Amino acid sequence: MGNNKYMENTNNETKKTNIFSVVPLRGKVAFPHTNISFEVGREMTLKAIDYASAGDRLVLICAQKQTEKDEITADDLFTVGCVARIKQVAQLSGGAIRVLCEGLYRARARRIAMEENGGYYYAVADEIQPIHGDPVLEEAYFRTAKELVKDVLAADGKIAKETFNKLERISQAEEYMDVAVTAMRVRLEIKQAILEEGRTIERLKLFERCLNDELEISKIEKKIASTVRQNIDKSQKEYFLREQLKAIHKELGDDGKEEDEYREKVLAKKLPEKLEEKCLKEIDRMSKMQPSSPEYTVISGYLDQVLALPWTEETTDTEALSDCAAVLEADHYGLEKIKERITEYLAVLKLTGNMKAPILCFVGPPGVGKTSIAKSVARALDRKFVRMSLGGVKDEAEIRGHRRTYIGAMPGRIMYGMKNAGSVNPVFLLDEIDKITSDMHGDPAGALLEVLDPEQNATFRDRFIEYPYDLSKVLFITTANTLETIPAPLRDRMEIIEVSGYTMEEKTEIARRYLAPKQLVANGLTDNNMTFTEDGIRAAIEGYTKEAGVRTLERTVGTLCRKIAVQYAENKDLPCVTVDAKKVEELLGAPRFKIDETRFQEEIGAVTGLAWTAVGGTTLVVEAVKMQGKGEIKLTGQLGDVMKESALAALTYIRSRAEKYGLDPDGFSKTDLHVHVPEGATPKDGPSAGITMATAILSALTEKKARGDIAMTGEITLRGKVLPIGGLKEKALAARRVGIKTVIIPKDNERDVAELPEVVRAEIRFIPVSNVEEVFALMLGGAGYEKPQPPKKRATKPKRMPVMPETGDTQNGVRC
């Protein structure tokens, strides 16, 4: 399509007729004698600009009747527009462009149609020639209009000085109106009417009517400002703006739709009476503010948070106790204490109809299933589940939230979790509660006291919400690796349930039932591609893992599956691979862990002790050496204060009975002792290495060999009494892992042996002692010495334990 220009004579006037590409303009009207800038993003408009830019750069700019409409037809455009020349085109992000045009003359489109091949609108348009009337009358209207324009532009106060200067230099009425209307804040319909009018006098009349309307609007604005200003102090600028906006709303009769929507939501939410009243007051405050005000945003954010919280929404618990137990059995086996406690809670809830939820704390090493059992509890009770990790939390505001006076304030993570749950009775997991710390911003443990206290959490107050929230129906479950880092007041509010590590048999069963099938699916394999034998699983456990849980075991099984997956990817006809002990070593290489047989040899000053850590039990060797010196004792191995005191107590006991052991009492002043616990990079503390240190010291002083096939644990006093210790199960499992068959324990821990797995009791002989003299007799020989005998029977059926591993535990050190 070309721009075929031709001339036509009508009413003794010459009109220019042309074919133009059409540019639809939203929200603006283009006038001659002015420059207009606009952005273009629609495809048809981009094509129209491209076509014009390739030719004479002329376009017909027509205003769009409905500005919000994207897909338009020819009927959606005004037929009168402005012919303009494209002066500049600039590329914007996203494929859009910015166009600067110079208005040339008005034109009326005879016809607007779509260019079939080009994909844009074009128009056949005639230039609108102004029709002049009585020159005297026209001049009178023109002068009146210029005076009115000065008043209007002066009252507006936002017109550029260049526009004033340009208007002063214009002597033609048509050009003056074009420039003045462009600079004024006038509605699109009025501007279009002035553009379309061809008779100059009628056009001046329209222009003057528009100017008078603008002056009247300015007077009303001044009246509103004057009315407000009489009621307030001039220094209260913010309050003045609000009152002015209120007066404007009153003049326009505009009540605000957003406030009405909030009011309807608050009334429909069925909030507590006082909270509902508080929210309605906040909505009334909003109605007096400008939406762009920062306080308006704060109030709307507050209302959104309040309305998002569950206040009355509640899920229904599982009806039958048997259904609850079935879900727990399907997800985990063992963990009888946890299953029994959840069943008790559900039973009492059904009998009473209402009870405060218990606060449970699962304590155990990493990878034993603490987090997964919490998820299973939620599924068993048919409740929503929310998890909140407390690892590294050190700001009290993380729990209680921030006051609304702070910029960017938000509710605490407790309220955030309740919002995500959508009900008032979810299962809420507080993971890693032993990892919280405190700093200058407050102590999160102090904030949790209210959350985890059944007597207080019915009125938990978040600083952002500023209203008591009922947490009494929430079943809070916490997890921890150790209780020692949990503050005593917080620990006192929780019901502690210990989740211990696994035996070899339990790990084998877990791997066979759960881990292997899970990793087969994860790596695209089936039972037809790969199977595990029992000795293969045992080889993976013994040679490549050293943990209380099964997390590393799961990764090891995954490694085996991936290596087999590589073989199947290279050869799809590969027969089913059986992973036995030999295959495990072939795929994983030499075992990482082996039982050190030399540790069972008798040595002077070396005794095996048992310790508890945050990741399970472990064995450690206490070494003691004597040398000539000044009677000093040196303790190394990054020992804590309690452990150092245990060594001093042991030495004092031996010195007090030196003659009994054939030692020269005066020789201590000439002998130095060095007590060392290997793995010096790991912090160690606790009193239960007391008898181990005493035995190692006596062995070094008397130069008698101590037995290496016996491990021990127990605290020693200055009178030689052996006091009870904790973590017996974890320590016994550690002894079994390294092949120790005899363990010396305090007499008061004898009752704890009955709670150990049957397989442990069958393989390890536990010797209870009440005095350290019994330990010396067993380890160094002498009165009462009796060589321990190996157990006669071995358990065949492992105790069932949980399967799914948890995440996020770290080792904090060794606790003896």
In whole angstroms, give the CA distance from residue 303 to residue 265. 10
Active site residue: 688, 704, 729, 799, which one? Answer: 688
Instruction: Based on the residue annotation, tell me whether 731 is a catalytic residue of this protein.
Output: yes
In whole angstroms, give the CA distance from residue 421 to residue 413. 12
Active site residue: 339, 435, 729, 731, which one? Answer: 731
Instruction: Based on the residue annotation, tell me whether 688 is a catalytic residue of this protein.
Output: yes
In whole angstroms, give the CA distance from residue 614 to residue 376. 24
Phi, psi of 86 (to 5 degrees): -75, 120
DSSP 466-497: -SEE--TT-EEEEEES-STTS-HHHHHTSEEE
Pick from 474, 468, 538, 531: nearest CA to 509: 538
What tokens does 413 get? 């993570």
Tell me if 497 sits within 8 A of 338, measured CB to CB: yes
Quote the crossing angle between the two packed helices 294-308 and 257-269, to the nearest 10°.
30
Quote the crossing angle between the two packed helices 690-702 and 641-656, to the nearest 10°.
50
Pick from 565, 312, 555, 356: nearest CA to 454: 356
Indicate the burial class of 514 (C-beta count within 10 angstroms; 0-12, 13-18, 19 or more).
buried
Pick from 718, 720, 715, 717: nearest CA to 777: 720
In whole angstroms, give the CA distance from residue 480 to residue 434. 5
Q: Is 66 left (phi over 0), alpha (psi -120 to 50) or beta?
A: beta
In whole angstroms, give the CA distance from residue 117 to residue 198. 34
Q: Which residues 6+ apart lie within 8 Å of 572 measured at CB? A: none
Name the DSSP letter for residue 632: -
In whole angstroms, give the CA distance from residue 48 to residue 52. 6
Phi, psi of 622 (to 5 degrees): -95, 125
What tokens does 778 get? 């067993």
Q: Which residues 6+ apart lie within 8 Å of 548 measured at CB? A: 364, 365, 366, 367, 368, 500, 501, 502, 615, 616, 617, 730, 733
How are strands ordered across the β-sheet holding 359-363? 385-389, 427-431, 475-480, 359-363, 495-498
DSSP 36-99: EEEEE-SHHHHHHHHHHHHTT-EEEEEEBSSTT-SS--GGGB-SEEEEEEEEEEEE-GGG-EEE
Pick from 107, 81, 130, 104: nearest CA to 33: 104
What tokens does 20 get? 């133009």
Q: What count of other Cβ atoms lies within 10 Å of the Cβ of residue 727?
A: 24
- Three-state DSSP class for residue 800: coil
Tell me if 376 sits within 8 A of 332, measured CB to CB: yes
In whole angstroms, give the CA distance from residue 273 to residue 806. 42
> In DSSP terms, which residues pair with 746 in a beta bridge?
769
Pick from 15, 80, 71, 6: nearest CA to 43: 71
Percentages of the chain per state (helix, strand, coil), in multiples of 5? 45, 20, 35
DSSP 389-425: E-TT---THHHH---TTSTT----HHHHHHHHH-SSS
Q: Which residues 6+ apart lie within 8 Å of 69 measured at CB? A: 76
Active-site annotation, residues: 688, 731
